[in-house]
Chain A
Amino acid sequence: MSDGNSPMQRPPLLSLSGVHTHIGQYHILQGVDLDIPEGQLTMLLGRNGAGKTTTMRTIMGLWQASRGEIRFGGEPLNGVATPDIARRGISYVPENMGIFGALTVQENMHLAARSGPMDTARLDWLFEVFPALKKFWKSPAGSLSGGQKQMLAIARAVIEPSRLLLIDEPTKGLAPAIVSALTSAILQLKSFGATILMVEQNFAMARAVGDTVAVMDDGRIVHRGLMADLAADKALQERLLGLSMDMHQ
């Protein structure tokens, strides 16, 4: 297994070691080992049902790990309540986006800016990368298109400063033009130094933004390495990701 973060010997910002998660009677995560290096974008890949979303939900405390340890910035995260996890600096864009449809775009953002008035520089940057948010600022978020909702979900996750951003499949079902807008927004976030863990089925986007990659299967991490190495190795892609990736290419 190659070591994706050899250039930096700093401890990872987030680390999961031997994490198991049960949902009801089902044993979903079966010993996940994953390190998220600071200042990088870690791609989490894997077939449908591999456990990617469950991993993110376990990090957020929305599912409880039944075994193993999660550490964030050196502190244990096991058993910490979701709101406290958010307040320690992890923000989350869930797979279903979690938009409050009855609230306006502005109200969605207002709630996300937990510690007070929205930072105007951040907001200006968001309006620049996602102009639709400005246009529909006072409209109910439920009336936005799927792509606009995704932009709002990401904007909501970055309006409050955070140390780690979890983004679950942001391009799901979106048109190419919107995918490229999201890609450029994420590249800009990276250039600001953000640490990101992202799930993505769109391999083109994954290779464009990913630094390191972890591949999951059946509730375990089966490969870790540099995104560039995986992108260059068709045979490895085929073996790890199978047909599911081809369908999305």
Chain B
Amino acid sequence: MSGSLQTVLARLRGGDGARRSGLLLIAALMLLALAGVGSVPTWITLTLAGLAMGMMVFIMASGLTLVFGLMDVLNFGHGAFISLGAFVGVSVMAALGPWMESASLAVNLAAVLAGAIIGMVVTGLFGYVFERLVVMPVYGNHLKQILITMGGLIVVEQLIYVVWGPDAIPIPRPETLKGALTFGDVVLEKYRLLAVAVGLTIFAVMTGVLTRTKIGLLVRAGVENSEMVESLGYPITRLFIAVFIAGSALAGLGGVMWGLYEEVITAHMGMSVMVMVFIVVIIGGLGSVEGCFLGALLVGLMNNYVAYLAPKMALGSSILLMVAILMWRPEGLLPVAKGR
């Protein structure tokens, strides 16, 4: 058999085929929803809402999936970075009150960007400390990881209460990001457009780093076979720490964005989004950033369509979706072939 045919067949069996079925699944869900909703403008609004939610969940979940993929670490404390990012980001934006209330989009975006960047820096640093103090001692032991990272999550929630008080903090969106653009009957919320743009940018940057830089290649290689990465002379723990910091910073960014989306933040918010984050990581296939992206889109869309059609079923529908996907593909949409 010719080599190139073999290559094509192997590709179909591997990533490309799975990727295609993931995209088909999303398309099918969208079409099904169109039939269910009946009105095209409403469907467009819901689809944008779903994509925006999906992107935010992707941002929060992408680091977690790599953390698991690289060193088999279950980090239930990831939600703490989401909440912490939100509180830090919101505090920065509150301090920049006049920028938030300005009528200029550029000034508004500058305030959000400042909040996001400082939120990311703080959660990234905090992620480093968390990794060294909480996660490192329990490498290789899942039960201890679950217990101690949950403990870490509770401690961080309590620290947030100490610093910011026990009450939920309302956070109005900046002036020019309030409201919606309307085209005839189609209503597009401005903030959701921003969320989609940020999510796509993060996905593109991550894909670029993971496919075009040496450290990105090492991360992907490490997810597949960490022993081999070490045998080639690269310490896996250093890579892991780098990924942990990046993942924590992204969780912080996700927290800032989620806070602005909900227009209120609580210490507990990270914990409550984590349900969706875990569903997305599992649907996507542990360790796969691309799978995580597809999974996040599916869950975001599903949530919003169902919330419109049968409001009480929204979260339940995500869980059903996860169960259905796992019955079809027990390792998730784009599983990483483990070399060991």
Contacts and interface: CB of A to CB of B under 8 A. Distances in A.
Interface of A: 60, 62, 81-83, 86-87, 91-92, 94, 96, 98-103, 107-108, 110-112, 114, 132, 135-136, 139-140, 142-143, 145, 156, 160
Contacts of B339: 96, 98-101
Contacts of B11: 140, 143
26 contacts: A62-B227, A81-B230, A81-B235, A83-B235, A86-B230, A86-B231, A94-B228, A94-B231, A98-B225, A98-B228, A100-B221, A102-B220, A102-B337, A107-B217, A108-B221, A111-B218, A114-B232, A114-B234, A136-B7, A139-B7, A140-B7, A140-B11, A142-B10, A143-B14, A145-B6, A160-B233
Given A111-B217, A136-B3, A101 B337 contact: yes
Contacts of A103: 217, 220-221
Nearest to B236: A83
Contact of B336 (A62, A83, A98, A102): A102
Contacts, number: 89
Contacts of B236: 83
B281 to A, nearest CB: 18
Q: Interface majority SS on B: helix, strand, loop or mixed?
A: helix
Contacts of A160: 233
- Would you list the 3 A-B pairs with minimal beta carbon distance, nearest first? A143-B10, A98-B228, A86-B233
Interface of B: 3, 6-7, 9-11, 14-15, 214, 217-218, 220-221, 224-225, 227-236, 336-337, 339-340
Contact of A82 (B220, B227, B337): B227
Given A100-B339, A103-B217, A143 B231 contact: no
A131 B339 CA distance: 25
Nearest to A100: B221
B214 A111 contact: yes
B229 to A, nearest CB: 8
A96 B3 CA distance: 22
Contacts of B7: 136, 139-140, 143
Contact of A98 (B6, B10, B218, B227): B227
A60 B337 CA distance: 23
Contacts of A100: 220-221, 224-225, 228, 339
A160 B231 CA distance: 12
A102 B220 CA distance: 8
Q: Which of A86, A142, A145, A160 has the most CB of B within 10 A?
A: A142
Given A100-B221, A101-B339, A114-B234, 15 more contacts: A60-B231, A62-B230, A62-B231, A83-B234, A96-B340, A98-B228, A100-B224, A100-B339, A101-B337, A102-B336, A107-B217, A111-B218, A114-B232, A114-B233, A143-B7
B328 to A, nearest CB: 21
Contacts of A110: 214, 217
